[in-house]
């Protein structure tokens, strides 16, 4: 094994597209001692060290490309397998039927040079409708195994070191890196999903869905289409460039960087409740009255302990948008004691039937970075926890759907 390959393995969920690679923390081999005031039912277990995802604006657009194996949020996905993308109903919200929006992807390889998971990326998508997320959460309690409706979907894609799409050598980051082959043609509107449908007039513009074709038509393809029919060459001025997507079609793009969570001794936020309360609320520039009154009520009830623990952990790094830990003793951090899954609520792997384990969760702070407004019908969540196949099974399907558990804040009585 050459040293550069060793280094690649050492960076677990770190984007390889990083000039400061050497400063990235190495994968820990020893869990931290359990925090004294750990809120959970089985305190006797040691607490696993958690990696936190933070967001950084990319230095230049177009850096977070698939052959650099990025971890990123917003923008368009950097598909690991660029050919066999999820399609049809798999790429759509199970409630409203619209194509899902790309939320984030985490590069999280497992194992050594021989592993089928030498490259491994988890992709999260979501319907931007809060109504759909409510329905998704509601159906969690009645969901039977096998083809449930979802407005949040997570896919796992993995490749061995030797594969048809990428060099078996790590990227050099000197502009010489290239994927080995082109990917599937993508939708010209969302840039996310496969463009299986072609505009009937120009026969050039491609779409994932009729909805995106209609949006593109209304936003200018109506005129461009005619031009494209009349021009002999597929004019590059009219066809959107690869990777360029109308900003309105996706959330803003960020690179995800990884940091380790500090242990509880290194801060002293515990005493200042009013201060720590604002941390989770920071996406609300001003906490609205509704939320505030709920907060006041909430603080008096039995969830107090759970909330206090949640806030203490968040306060160690208020900008965390995700928490990642695949250690066997890892547990999700819950904001509320209500709305957590029991063991029976977590299905087995839909492919190998083996157990799923907690791998990561996304935090409400992500909404702030995505510029989601704090309005009654805006997208919001307490946390969304992702469980993945413990064995990272390698089946014939390129994008295997994993399981997400949605925990929302209690709904105000005036809604639904
Ligand atoms: Zn929907
Ligand atoms: Zn589309
Ligand atoms: Zn056209
Ligand atoms: Zn499996």
- Is 415 within a domain? no
Confidence label for 374 from pLDDT (cuts 50, 70 and 90): confident
Ligand 2 centroid vs 74 CA: distance in angstroms?
15
- State residue 45's pLDDT score: 59
What domain range is 177 assigned to? 3-183+250-407
Domain match, 178 and 29 both: yes
How many domains does the chain fold into? 2
Ligand 3 centroid vs 213 CA: distance in angstroms?
9
Domain match, 302 and 370 both: yes
Domain match, 203 and 219 both: yes
Ligand 3 centroid vs 253 CA: distance in angstroms?
28
Q: Mean pLDDT, to the nearest integer, of 20-35?
A: 40
CA-angle at 102, arms to 313 and 213, nearest 5°: 160
Domain match, 285 and 148 both: yes
- Is 414 within a domain? no
Q: Mean pLDDT, to the nearest integer, of 227-240?
A: 60
Q: What percentage of the chain reaches a pLDDT higher than 90?
A: 54
- State residue 229's pLDDT score: 76
Ligand 1 centroid vs 133 CA: distance in angstroms?
7
Q: Which residue has the higher pLDDT, 384 or 30?
A: 384
CB under 5 Å of ion ligand 2: residues = 187, 189-190, 208, 212
Confidence label for 140 from pLDDT (cuts 50, 70 and 90): confident
Asked whether residue 284 carries a pLDDT value surpassing 60, the answer given is no
- State residue 366's pLDDT score: 96
Asked whether residue 334 carries a pLDDT value surpassing 60, the answer given is yes
Domain match, 265 and 236 both: no
Q: Which ligand is nearest to the CA of 95?
A: 1
Domain match, 32 and 131 both: yes
Domain match, 167 and 192 both: no
Domain match, 82 and 165 both: yes
Using the 3D structure, point to which of 215, 241, 267 is the last residue of a domain.
241
Ligand 2 centroid vs 373 CA: distance in angstroms?
23
Confidence label for 416 from pLDDT (cuts 50, 70 and 90): very low
- Is 138 within a domain? yes
Mean pLDDT of the chain: 80
Ligand 4 centroid vs 189 CA: distance in angstroms?
33
Whether the predicted model's global pTM rises above the 0.85 cut: no
Domain match, 95 and 115 both: yes
Taking the C-alpha atoms of residue 281 and residue 278, their distance in angstroms, rounded to an integer, is 5
Domain match, 168 and 268 both: yes
């Amino acid at each position: 094994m050459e040293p550069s390959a060793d280094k690649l393995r050492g960076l677990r969920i770190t984007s390889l597209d990083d000039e400061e690679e050497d400063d990235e923390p190495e994968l820990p081999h020893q869990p931290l001692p359990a925090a004294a005031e750990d809120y959970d039912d089985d305190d006797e277990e040691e607490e696993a060290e958690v990696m936190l995802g933070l967001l950084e604006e990319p230095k230049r657009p177009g850096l977070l490309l698939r052959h650099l194996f990025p971890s990123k949020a917003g923008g368009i996905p950097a598909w690991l397998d660029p050919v066999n993308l999820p399609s049809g109903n798999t790429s759509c919200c199970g409630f409203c039927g619209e194509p899902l929006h790309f939320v984030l992807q985490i590069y999280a390889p497992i194992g050594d040079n021989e592993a089928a998971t030498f490259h491994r990326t988890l992709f999260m998508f979501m319907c931007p409708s809060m109504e759909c997320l409510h329905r998704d959460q509601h159906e969690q309690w009645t969901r039977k195994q096998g083809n449930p409706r979802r407005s949040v979907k997570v896919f796992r894609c993995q490749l061995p070191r030797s594969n048809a799409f990428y060099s078996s050598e790590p990227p050099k980051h000197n502009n010489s890196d290239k994927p080995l082959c082109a990917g599937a043609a993508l939708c010209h509107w969302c840039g996310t999903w496969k463009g299986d449908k072609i505009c009937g007039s120009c026969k050039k513009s491609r779409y994932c869905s009729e909805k995106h074709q209609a949006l593109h038509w209304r936003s200018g393809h109506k005129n461009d289409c005619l031009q494209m029919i009349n021009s002999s060459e597929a004019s590059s001025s009219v066809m959107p460039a690869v990777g360029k997507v109308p900003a309105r079609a996706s959330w803003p793009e960020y690179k995800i960087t990884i940091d380790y969570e500090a242990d509880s001794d290194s801060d002293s936020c515990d005493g200042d409740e009013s201060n720590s309360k604002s941390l989770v609320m920071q996406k609300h520039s001003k906490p609205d009255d509704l939320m505030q009154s709920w907060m006041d009520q909430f603080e008096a009830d039995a969830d107090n302990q759970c909330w206090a623990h949640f806030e203490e952990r968040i306060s160690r790094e208020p900008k965390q948008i995700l928490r990642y830990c695949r250690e066997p003793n890892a547990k999700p951090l819950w904001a509320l004691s209500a709305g957590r899954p029991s063991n029976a609520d977590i299905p087995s792997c839909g492919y190998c039937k083996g157990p799923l384990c907690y791998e990561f969760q996304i935090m409400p702070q992500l909404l702030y970075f995505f510029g989601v407004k704090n309005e009654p019908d805006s997208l919001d969540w307490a946390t969304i926890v992702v469980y993945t196949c413990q064995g990272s099974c390698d089946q014939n399907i390129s994008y295997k759907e994993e399981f997400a558990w949605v925990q929302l804040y209690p709904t105000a009585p005036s809604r639904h």
